Structure 1
Amino acid sequence: MIRDIYTEDHDAFRESVRQFIGKEIVPNIPEWEAAGIVPRELFTKAAEIGINGLQIPEEYGGGGVDTFKFNAVVLEENGYAAATLGGLQVHLSTVLPYFLELANDEQKARWFPGFASGELVSSIAMTEPGTGSDLAGMATTAVRDGDDFILNGAKTFITGGINADLIVVVARTSKGHENRRKGLSLLVVEAGMDGFSRGRNLDKMGLKAQDTAELLFDNVRVSAANLLGAEGEAFTMLTANLPQERLTIAVTAQATATAALNLAIEYTKDRKVFGKSVSDFQNTKFVLADCATDLEAGQALVDRAIVALDAGTLTDADAAKAKLFCTEMQSRVIDKCLQLHGGYGYMREYPISRLYTDARVSRIFGGTSEVMRSVISKSLKL
């Protein structure tokens, strides 16, 4: 079916992104996966074609766009190529919205030019060794000391945490509230601050080229000038950005599942068994037909959600529906497409194997499928 949410400007930008990914990323993926991280120069190269500064105001060197659609184009082209932007993807679509919404004029002047040029990349540190989805159970603390906060605690599973220059840390700045959700704040920790250290670059099953860090904070003195948004109101600010974060995951899931279908079609046409192409067998045709139908449904859901996000009407429940459907569908489709590759699909030299292992975390991060079902059921007054 024809997609009608993009304009000629989006299409032109898409072509630039596609060429960039084909030239600067795809040939280097094996090397980056072995290293467990993408090189920092990727971020400055991406900035040269405008990827980093899409939503940064023009006065700070950015593109000044107020739509998510250009971000969606980047996510889609990255997924179609079975490629990776490392932590840049999270910076652009998950973390940057906090800065755009909450940063004061001084903070914008200090950080936004670096965001636009690719010299600064951010990450967000929520998850702790003892807490996953229970943000209100945060153990990391930040105690006020004059014009500073003294930050102590540990974070884990932090995407982009090795390469990041600025890390938005969620910490408890006050206790004793009846409501556990009160008293959390967002503090921007900068690389090089005394007491801030990065632990292991975690060894994951998939997303091998995307750095995922353990972060440690030992009496880190963070200036109150690095407080992002209102003190004590982080929970509300975090939940306000969840629809975009979950839509970002849905867009990526949809795109990588599409890539898997394209790979399977190409492979089954070329692969010969029993004297004919694998694609000639009725089972192959039926499996691919099911995948194509699933993808069409997912695309319709994603496109409606993108339009709703731009209009400011995307609800928590609708974003959860998009993430739940697309990530569950992603796993089904990629699994079927790998099966059609036979034993070769299990070999890491084939992109389908990377798509398979990368996809598994989609049903976990940004809120598990179980959490999505809980969000949706609440909207049904259950």
Structure 2
Amino acid sequence: MRLWTAILLTAALASATPAFAQEADEDVGAVSSGGLVAEAVPTAMARAVDGFIRPGYRDLVERTGALADHLRPLCHRPSPQSLARARRAFSEVTAAWSRIEIVRVGPVLDDNRFERVLFFPDRKSTGLKQVQRILAENDETATIATSLRGKSVAVQGLGALEYVLFGTDADELLDAPDGFRCRYARAIAENLTSVAAELSAAWENPRGVQAAWKAPGPDNPLYRTQGEAATELLGILVHGVESLRDQRLRPVFAGEITPKPSPGHPKLAVYWRSGETMDSVAGNALGLKALFDTAGMRALLPADRQSIADSIDIVFNDLIASADAVDQPIDKALMNPAERVKLLLVLRNANDLLQRLNMDFGAAIGLGAGFSFADGD
């Protein structure tokens, strides 16, 4: 890393202490009363649907389909080259999912679809043990996508597939054509394609969820007012940043959120086996910013509160840049002083962004100081 970059990162983290996650700039939350620009809400919701959500799920359909296509030649004619192509296709799926997974509302919550795509966090390694059991017992019912769907969500998504492609004994994929491990991987990919297609179809239906998003009103079963719709949109961003910070990053520090190198718990990180942890974090941040920008959420703010959107844009860019700057796998980054500083900067930027969205933006559109997304108010 260049010396100047190191100086900038170190300076930015001069106040990084175990309590840094609670700190905030003095001006955060210091906004006067304002109000939601209600007439801008339907347009923002429509832009979110047509410009971000629908294209995001279409991309997921395309990427999961390509993954299944790459696994077929790996199973029929295993080689280092076909394995490398399958692994690259897996990374493209995790990238596509990382951008759209921030939308944790609507059809993705039906039929456990979110968990079918990604069962995370896997507390107590329950899912891992189930995947290992399938591999140890050569459970043939797991090699057919339709029967795999009836099993635990933990054995049919990206976490399971990552273990099959990158985990212990993954070299078995090269042993012989049509081996059990590869056929299981192919079934997972086909199941992912099916779930992605369901999600895309649900959002493409003009009389379905998109209709509710585009027309808030008293007869709308989801959003009776413009304020409820705006709250849903802002809530996606708030919860997305919370998940990035509290599920994807904080646990790996094992409570040692300081610049001092410490091994932490890298195996609690998402996609640690494939080395995609920080790419996924960056993907989450990119998805959040794309939703904010595509929906045109600054239009929801009163004219005298537009500076809030400007500051949010700056912090979004800082968050994305800091996540992209982490060059090493998560286990090595935790023990490398320079890389650990970068990880801490990601956390600090996430905390800053959360405060600006939840407190500044929320207050400016009329959500009171006592409002809590976590409480579902």
Q: Which of the five TM-score ranges fits, normalised by the shorter chain?
A: 0.3 to 0.5
Q: Which has the higher helix share?
A: 2
TM, length-normalised to structure 1: 0.36
Q: Which has the higher strand share?
A: 1
TM, length-normalised to structure 2: 0.37
